[in-house]
């Protein structure tokens, strides 16, 4: 089991996303880069520790890489508790945003236009989510 947000966990996400034929089909017409910032400080600010990774959707190819993107389309910033709640499926990204727990920067319209592809990404990660956090009924 890979620890949430560890380099090993990000590598597992990359492997799952880059080899999933359904995700490739769902993202065939998309060029989008989503950068994630997860900080240990309040409101997701880096308070001595921050994990940054990014997801590149490039017309059917999906890569998930550690570190910041060269030119992200959209940036998400949240604290670790919020990131984990979203990853577990306990709160949606939309609800986290509406409650101020998730901050979004960049081209927000690109998120709206590509919401189906982002949903397919979540489906692709179901096995990793179960491996990381256990079954949805365990806590």
Give 40's pLDDT tier (boundaries 50, 70, 90): confident
Task: Convert the pLDDT of each residue in 92-136 to its tens digit.
Answer: 888 999 999 999 999 999 989 998 888 888 888 988 988 999 865
Q: Residue 40 is encoded by which pair of tokens?
A: 């240990």
Task: Convert the pLDDT of each residue in 61-93 to its tens digit.
Answer: 999 999 999 999 999 999 999 999 999 889 988
- For residue 2, is it within any domain? no
CATH number of domain containing 82: 3.30.1050.10
- For residue 100, is it within any domain? yes
Alpha helices by DSSP H, listed for the chain, are 7-18, 21-26, 80-88, 93-98, 108-113, 115-124, 126-133
Compute the distance between CA of residue 38 and CA of residue 45 in angstroms, rounded to an integer.
Answer: 8
φ, ψ dihedrals at 48, nearest 5°: 95, -20
**Cα–Cα nearest to 30, from 73, 63, 64, 59:** 59
The confidence score (pLDDT) of residue 41 equals 66
- For residue 115, is it within any domain? yes
Compute the distance between CA of residue 93 and CA of residue 86 in angstroms, rounded to an integer.
Answer: 6
- For residue 138, is it within any domain? no
Contact (CB, 8 A) for 99 and 79: no
- For residue 76, is it within any domain? yes
Contact (CB, 8 A) for 84 and 9: no
- For residue 139, is it within any domain? no
- For residue 1, is it within any domain? no
Question: What residue numbers bound the domain in which 13 lies?
Answer: 7-133
Number of domains, the chain: 1
């Amino acid at each position: 089991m890979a620890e949430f947000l560890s380099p090993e966990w990000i590598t597992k996400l990359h492997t799952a996303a880059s080899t999933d034929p359904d995700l490739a089909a769902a993202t065939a017409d998309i060029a989008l880069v989503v950068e994630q910032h997860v900080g240990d400080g309040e409101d997701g600010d880096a308070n001595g520790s921050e994990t940054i990774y990014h997801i590149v959707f490039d017309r059917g190819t999906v890569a998930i890489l550690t570190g910041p993107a060269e030119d992200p389309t959209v940036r998400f910033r949240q604290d670790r508790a919020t990131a984990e709640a979203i990853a577990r499926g306990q709160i949606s990204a939309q609800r986290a945003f509406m409650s101020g727990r998730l901050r979004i920067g960049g081209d927000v319209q690109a998120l709206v236009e590509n919401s189906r592809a982002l949903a397919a990404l979540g489906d692709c990660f179901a096995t990793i989510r179960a491996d990381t956090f256990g079954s949805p009924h365990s806590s």
